[in-house]
Amino acid sequence: MNDQTLSNLLSEDRRFEPPAELAANANVKEEAYERAAADPEAYWETAAERLDWGQKWDQVLDWTNPPFAKWFVGGTINASVNCADRHVAAGNGDRVAIHWVGEPEGDTRDVTYAELADEVAKAANALTELGVRKGDRVAIYMPMIPEVVVAMLACARLGAIHTVVFGGFSADALASRVIDCDARVVITADGGFRRGAPSALKPAVDEAMEKVGDLVRTVLVVRRTGQDVDWHEGRDLWWHEVVGRQSTEHEPEMHDSEHPLFVMYTSGSTGKPKGILHTTGGYLTGTSWTHWSVFDLKDDDVYWCTADVGWITGHSYLVYGPLANGVTQVMFEGTPEKGSWWKVIQDYKVSIFYTAPTAIRTFMKQGREIPDSYDMSSLRVLGSVGEPINPEAYVWYRSVIGGDRCPVVDTWWQTETGQIMISPLPGVTAAKPGSAMKALPGISADVVDDDAHSVPNGTGGYLVLKQPWPAMLRTLWGDDQRFKDTYWSRWEGLYFAGDGAKRDDDGDIWLLGRVDDVMNVSGHRLSTTEIESALVSHPKVAEAAVVGASDETTGQAVIAFVILREAAGDGGPDIVEELRKHVAHEIGPIAKPRQIMVVPELPKTRSGKIMRRLLKDVAENREIGDVTTLADSTVMDLIKAREAESSSAD
Ligand code: WTA
C-alpha cells in the first residue's frame, strides 16, 4: 500500500469502536494492557493457570541465556490431556469438538470430546505398539480429516514430536523434511478430496520414501478415498486395522513444560526450509490464551478457522488453542466453491470465523449476491490472518460477511511466534481497516529504524519484538546458530520478524509485508531462493531469479526470470509450462510461478548479486529504478524488450 492510499483511508477516519455489548462482557478488559506491561510474567502465569498441569512450575520464565527461553520451568503438562481428556472429565464429553465437513456433498461427521479422547488414546496405543517413543519424530502428511488431529494429539500424548507437512507439498518437500528431522514413521492417507476429485497422497509418500532410503520403517495409512494404492508389505499399515483394534485406555505421561511438541518447516530467505521448534507448556499457554482473548470466546460459540492443518494457523488455531479451550468447531475439507463456506456458516451457526485476506478478495470478485443469499446472522467476530489485509477487503469482510455488526480482528503473527502477537481485542480495542492496531497485552512489539530506534508516529521501519513470549519458537531444529543468526543478530536483544511496518499518527501498527526474500502468496510463505533452486535443478535452466509481484487476489504472485542453457536452444514452445510443472513437482502446486520469462541475461551488480528490485519493477510493470550499480546497464533493455514480446503474445 502506498502512503497516499494509507493517508486517504486514515483521513476518511474509518475507525470502528468495539460494540458496547462485547465491551461489557469481554474476556480480557482494557486494564490488561497496563497490568501485563507492569508484570508480563504474572500476566502469562494467569494464562497458564487456565490449563491442567501435572506439576506446577517453579519459575515462569528463564531468560538467562537469550535467545533461548524457557517458560514455566519445572512444570509438567500433557497437551493431549488438555485438548481432550480434561473436557470429558469436566462433564463435556458429549460436546461436539469437531463438526467435520468433507468435500463430497453430504459427507459429514461430528466428533465429540469423548470420541476424540478415545481415538487419541487408541492412536497413542497404536504408535506405542509401532515402537514410537518419547522424543521420536513422526511425519504427518494428511488431508483435512479428523484423523489428522487425532494423529497430532496422539504424538503429543506420547511426547513424540510431530512434523506436519502440508498435503499440497510435493514428494520432494516431504522427503527433505523427513530427512531433516529424522522421522521414522509417516502417517498419511490414501488421498483426500480436492476440487471434487480425489487427490493422491500415498503415491507421493511412496515417491518420497524412495528418496529417504530405509529411514522410515512404518507408513500408517488412513483410508479416506478408497482409491487403489501401491502397498509395501512390511512397511505400510492401515490405520483402521492398527488403531482400530486398540484399547481406549491410555495412561498419559506428564511431560516437561519445555519438552518439544512439534517442528513446523517454513520458508526462509535461503533455499532450505527451517524447522521451527515449539515446545509444550508455553506454546499451549500462548495459543489457548490468545484464542480465548482475541476471539473473545464464549461457551456457546461455534468457531471456524479455514486454515489447513499443514500450516501454523492450523496448528495453533484449529488444533491446540481451540481444543485446549474445549470449543466446538468446524473443520472443512477441500476447497471452497461459490457459496459453500457461507452455507457451512448458516448450517452450523458459526459465530467466530477466521480466514485469510486472499480468500476474502476472491469472494469479493464473485460479488456480494452469493453471501447475501445465506443467513449468517450467527456470526459475531471475524478474524483475518496470513498477510496484510487491504482496507477494501477489510471493509467488504466487515460489511458483507459481518453485516456491519461483527468486529474484524486483523491478527499478525508467524510460524515462529506460534501465537497471535498484534491484533485488536474485539471488545476492547478500536479497529481500523488494514491495521493490526497494537500488540496484545503481555507482548512487546515495536517499529524501529536501521539503528533499532523506535520510529516516531507517521513513519515506517522494521517490526521487532522486544520481550520473550510463551509460544515463541525455541530454536531451529538442529541449528541453534541459524536460529540466532536469522532472528536475533540484526540488533542486540531484539527479535527481527522480517516484516516492514508503519506507525500511523495515533501510534497504531500497519503491517507492510516482508522486507526479506520471502514471498507471501495467498497467505502462504514461499522463499524466492527455494523456487530459484527448483528452477535451476531443471536440465534446461542455467540461471533463475524469482520475485514476488503484487497480485490483486493472492497478495503476491511468483514471477520467474530464467536463462536457458545453450544446449536447450529456445527450450521449445512448451518450455514455460514444462518449468511451471517442474516447480510444482519439486515444491508443490502453490509454488508454481504465475509467469516465467525466458531472458538472455539477468541484472547483476559488479559483485554478481542479482538485483531483484529491478526485476520486480518489470514484473509489476513499473518504470525501471536506478540501474547505475548494474555491471551491464543494457541488460534491463533486453529484459524489457523480451517482456514486451511475451505480453503481446499473451
Ligand atoms: C505475514 C502465518 C500482515 C507476515 C500466521 C509474517 C501478516 C508472515 C499477517 C508469517 C497480518 C501474517 N498482517 N502480514 N495479519 N499475518 N502475516 O509463518 O509477513 O505462515 O511474517 O504465519 O505472514 O507467515 P507464517
Domain boundaries, the chain: 78-244+260-281, 522-649
Burial class (CB in 10 A: 0-12, 13-18, 19+), 196: exposed
Q: In this structure, are residues 134 and 236 in contact, taking their beta carbons and an 8 Å threshold?
A: no
Phi-psi region of 251 (alpha: psi -120 to 50; beta: other; left: phi over 0): beta
pLDDT at 353 over 60: yes
Confidence at residue 204, expressed as pLDDT on a 0 to 100 scale = 96
Q: Which of 7-21, 163-177, 517-531 has the lowest mean pLDDT?
A: 7-21
Strand segments (E) across 103-254: 108-112, 137-141, 161-164, 185-189, 191-194, 197-200, 218-222, 236-238
Q: Which of 20-29, 88-97, 117-126 has the lowest mean pLDDT?
A: 20-29
- Substitution site in 414, 420, 486 for ligand 1 pocket (most atoms within 8 Å of beta carbon): 414
| Nearest atom (ligand 1) to Cα of 524 | 20
Residue 445: C-alpha distances to residues 44, 471, 521 (Å):
16, 15, 25
Can you read off the three cell numbers belonging to residue 321? 488453542
Per-residue pLDDT averaged across 584-612, rounded? 90
Residue 314 — pLDDT band, cuts 50, 70, 90? Answer: very high
Nearest CA to ligand 1 atom 12: 386
Residue 507: closest CA among 435, 600, 401: 435
Confidence at residue 194, expressed as pLDDT on a 0 to 100 scale = 78
Distance (Å) from CA 386 to ligand 1 centroid: 4
Topology of domain 78-244+260-281, per CATH?
Rossmann fold (3.40.50)
Per-residue pLDDT averaged across 285-300, rounded? 98
pLDDT at 6 over 50: no
Give percent above pLDDT 70 in the chain: 97
Confidence at residue 348, expressed as pLDDT on a 0 to 100 scale = 98
| Per-residue model confidence as pLDDT tens digits over 380-393 | 999 999 999 999 99
Cis, peptide link before residue 67, omega less than 30° from 0: yes
Distance (Å) from CA 178 to ligand 1 centroid: 25
- Alpha-carbon distance of 272 to 287, in angstroms, equals 27
Residue 13 — pLDDT band, cuts 50, 70, 90? Answer: low
Nearest CA to ligand 1 atom 5: 414
Per-residue pLDDT averaged across 229-255, rounded? 98
- Alpha-carbon distance of 465 to 418, in angstroms, equals 13
List 558's β-bridge partners, or say none: 548
- Per-residue three-class SS string for 236-250: EEEHHHHCCCCCCCC
Per-residue pLDDT averaged across 143-171, rounded? 97
Nearest CA to ligand 1 atom 3: 388
Residue type at 385?
V
Distance (Å) from CA 251 to ligand 1 centroid: 38
Strand order in the sheet with 352-355: 108-112, 96-101, 328-332, 302-305, 352-355, 381-385, 408-411
Nearest CA to ligand 1 atom 22: 414
| Nearest atom (ligand 1) to Cα of 423 | 15
Q: Which residues of 540-561 are buried (b: 16+ CB within 10 A; e: fewer)?
A: bbebbbbbbbebeebbbbbbbb
- Alpha-carbon distance of 217 to 214, in angstroms, equals 7
**How far apart, in Å, do the first and last CA atoms of the chain sit?**
28
Q: From the CB of residue 70, how many other CB atoms can be counted at a distance below 10 Å?
A: 22
Q: Estimate the crossing angle of helix 575-586 against helix 171-181, to 10 degrees.
A: 30
| Per-residue model confidence as pLDDT tens digits over 165-197 | 999 999 999 999 999 999 999 999 999 887 767
Distance (Å) from CA 420 to ligand 1 centroid: 10
Confidence at residue 10, expressed as pLDDT on a 0 to 100 scale = 46
Nearest CA to ligand 1 atom 10: 414
Residue 8 — pLDDT band, cuts 50, 70, 90? Answer: low
| Nearest atom (ligand 1) to Cα of 266 | 18
Residue 333: closest CA among 346, 318, 323: 318
Using only C-alpha atoms, what is the Rg of the chain? 24
Residue 255: C-alpha distances to residues 128, 260, 261, 264, 384 (Å):
16, 9, 10, 20, 33
Per-residue pLDDT averaged across 433-461, rounded? 96
What are the two backbone dihedrals, phi and then psi, of residue 371, each rounded to the nearest 5 degrees?
-60, -30
Distance (Å) from CA 356 to ligand 1 centroid: 10
- Alpha-carbon distance of 531 to 587, in angstroms, equals 8
Please enumerate, as own/partner, the contacts of 343-346 that have beta carbons within 8 Å and a separation of 24 or more. Answer: 343/374, 344/101, 344/304, 345/304, 345/374, 345/376, 345/378, 345/379, 346/374, 346/375, 346/376, 346/378
Residue 437: closest CA among 514, 354, 355, 510: 510
Residue 165: closest CA among 196, 135, 129, 137: 137
138 HSE (CA, 13 A, CB side): 32
In the chain, how long is the greatest CA-to-CA distance?
A: 74
| Per-residue model confidence as pLDDT tens digits over 608-624 | 788 888 999 999 988 88
List 556's β-bridge partners, or say none: 550
Note the helical H segments in 464-550: 480-488, 528-536
- Alpha-carbon distance of 254 to 232, in angstroms, equals 36
Residue type at 76?
T
Q: Which of 83-87, 101-105, 137-141, 421-425 has the lowest mean pLDDT?
A: 101-105
pTM: 0.93
| Per-residue model confidence as pLDDT tens digits over 405-434 | 999 999 999 999 999 999 999 999 999 999
Answer CATH for 522-649 from 3.40.140.10, 3.30.300.30, 3.20.20.220, 3.40.50.620: 3.30.300.30
- Alpha-carbon distance of 608 to 42, in angstroms, equals 52
- Alpha-carbon distance of 455 to 445, in angstroms, equals 12
Distance (Å) from CA 169 to ligand 1 centroid: 19
Distance (Å) from CA 425 to ligand 1 centroid: 18
Q: Estimate the crossing angle of helix 113-129 against helix 146-158, to 10 degrees.
A: 60
Distance (Å) from CA 637 to ligand 1 centroid: 35
Give percent above pLDDT 90 in the chain: 82
Q: In sequence order, what are the residues at sequence separation of 6 or more whose Cβ sits closer than 8 angstroms to the Cβ of residue 574? A: none
Q: In this structure, are residues 451 and 494 in contact, taking their beta carbons and an 8 Å threshold?
A: no
Distance (Å) from CA 92 to ligand 1 centroid: 34
Distance (Å) from CA 395 to ligand 1 centroid: 20
- Alpha-carbon distance of 89 to 81, in angstroms, equals 10
| Nearest atom (ligand 1) to Cα of 316 | 5
Q: How far is CA 35 from the centre of its chain?
A: 30
Distance (Å) from CA 222 to ligand 1 centroid: 32
Confidence at residue 609, expressed as pLDDT on a 0 to 100 scale = 82
Strand segments (E) across 236-297: 236-238, 255-256, 260-266, 274-279
Confidence at residue 648, expressed as pLDDT on a 0 to 100 scale = 58
Where does ligand 1 bind, in terms of residues with CB under 6 Å? Answer: 266, 311-313, 385-388, 410-415, 436, 497-499, 511, 514, 520, 525
- Alpha-carbon distance of 501 to 462, in angstroms, equals 6
DSSP 276: E
Burial class (CB in 10 A: 0-12, 13-18, 19+), 94: exposed
State the average pLDDT for the chain.
93
Q: In this structure, are residues 387 and 357 in contact, taking their beta carbons and an 8 Å threshold?
A: yes
Q: In sequence order, what are the residues at sequence separation of 6 or more whose Cβ sits closer than 8 angstroms to the Cβ of residue 553? A: 358, 361, 362, 365, 522
Q: Which of 384-398, 466-480, 593-607 has the lowest mean pLDDT?
A: 593-607
- Substitution site in 382, 422, 440, 511 for ligand 1 pocket (most atoms within 8 Å of beta carbon): 511
Kind and range of the H or E run holding 307: none
Distance (Å) from CA 412 to ligand 1 centroid: 6
List 140's β-bridge partners, or say none: 164, 187
| Nearest atom (ligand 1) to Cα of 412 | 15
Distance (Å) from CA 414 to ligand 1 centroid: 5
- Substitution site in 412, 518, 550 for ligand 1 pocket (most atoms within 8 Å of beta carbon): 412
| Nearest atom (ligand 1) to Cα of 416 | 18
- Chain length of the chain: 650
Q: From the CB of residue 612, how many other CB atoms can be counted at a distance below 10 Å?
A: 18
| Nearest atom (ligand 1) to Cα of 513 | 19
Higher pLDDT, 314 or 104: 314
Per-residue pLDDT averaged across 349-364, rounded? 96
Higher pLDDT, 296 or 648: 296
Confidence at residue 500, expressed as pLDDT on a 0 to 100 scale = 95
| Nearest atom (ligand 1) to Cα of 497 | 21
Confidence at residue 216, expressed as pLDDT on a 0 to 100 scale = 97
Residue 650 — pLDDT band, cuts 50, 70, 90? Answer: very low
Same fold, 78-244+260-281 and 522-649: no
